[in-house]
């Protein structure tokens, strides 16, 4: 069982700290929830303890995986293909895996694509979500502040592609 103060990643939401463990009654049934505090904004997410395995809650990446994510961000973006809604669904499915390297690919591709030609509003929202998820986990994995990670990420994505 996880403890208050543990850092975890909730797919499609990002990384955060378990701030509390609460009991709540829902539809006449008492359940225990982890209260996850995310570093971006003041968002709190309640996760049923008995559903943790099904939703893909995991630990934050380690330093070795951090360098792999940086390599993904620095690598050449994939060429977008198909209609925007097909690309949107492919990117969304990739992000739902919970793998930070997949999230980094989506963020990299959409950010660089948006710089060369405007992306759709749906893709723009997905780009912002991918960046938010990426930043939230990089804060914990790198030990840097939110502002430092955002600046670092912006610089990584501005640099010429290797």
CATH classification at residue 96: 1.20.58.1290
Q: Is residue 2 in a domain? A: no
Locate 58 and state its tokens: 């995991």
Rounded CA-CA distance 117/61 in Å is 32
- The backbone torsions φ and ψ at residue 21, rounded to the nearest 5 degrees and listed phi first, read -125, 120
- Per-residue pLDDT tens over the stretch 35-75: 999 877 677 899 999 989 899 899 999 988 999 999 999 99
> What's the confidence (pLDDT) of residue 161?
63
Looking at the fold, whether 52 and 74 belong to one and the same domain comes out as: no
Looking at the fold, whether 45 and 104 belong to one and the same domain comes out as: no
For residues 130-158, give the mean pLDDT: 93
What range defines the domain where residue 11 resides? 7-59
Q: Please state, for a pLDDT cut of 70, what percent of the chain lies above it.
A: 97
For residues 135 and 149, the answer to whether their CB atoms sit within 8 Å is yes
> What is the arrangement of strands in the sheet containing 29-37, beginning at the earlier edge strand?
44-48, 29-37, 14-26, 7-10, 58-59
Q: Is residue 79 in a domain? A: yes
**Domain end (from 59, 76, 102):** 59
Judged by average pLDDT, the poorest of 30-39, 50-59, 117-126, 152-161 is 152-161
Looking at the fold, whether 38 and 96 belong to one and the same domain comes out as: no
């Amino acid at each position: 069982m996880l403890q208050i103060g543990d850092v975890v990643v909730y797919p499609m939401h990002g990384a955060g700290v378990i701030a509390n463990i609460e009991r709540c009654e829902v539809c006449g049934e008492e359940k225990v929830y982890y209260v996850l505090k995310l570093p971006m904004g003041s968002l709190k997410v309640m996760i049923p303890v008995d559903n943790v395995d099904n939703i893909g809650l995991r630990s934050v990446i380690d330093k070795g995986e951090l360098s792999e994510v940086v390599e993904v961000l620095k690598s050449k973006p994939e060429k977008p293909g198909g209609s925007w809604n097909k690309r949107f669904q492919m990117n969304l499915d990739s992000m739902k895996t919970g793998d930070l390297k997949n999230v980094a690919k989506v963020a990299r591709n959409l950010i660089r694509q948006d710089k060369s030609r405007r992306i759709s509003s749906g893709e723009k929202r997905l780009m912002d979500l991918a960046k938010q998820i990426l930043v939230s986990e990089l804060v914990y994995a790198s030990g840097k502040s939110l502002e430092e990670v955002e600046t670092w990420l912006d610089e990584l994505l501005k640099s010429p592609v290797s």
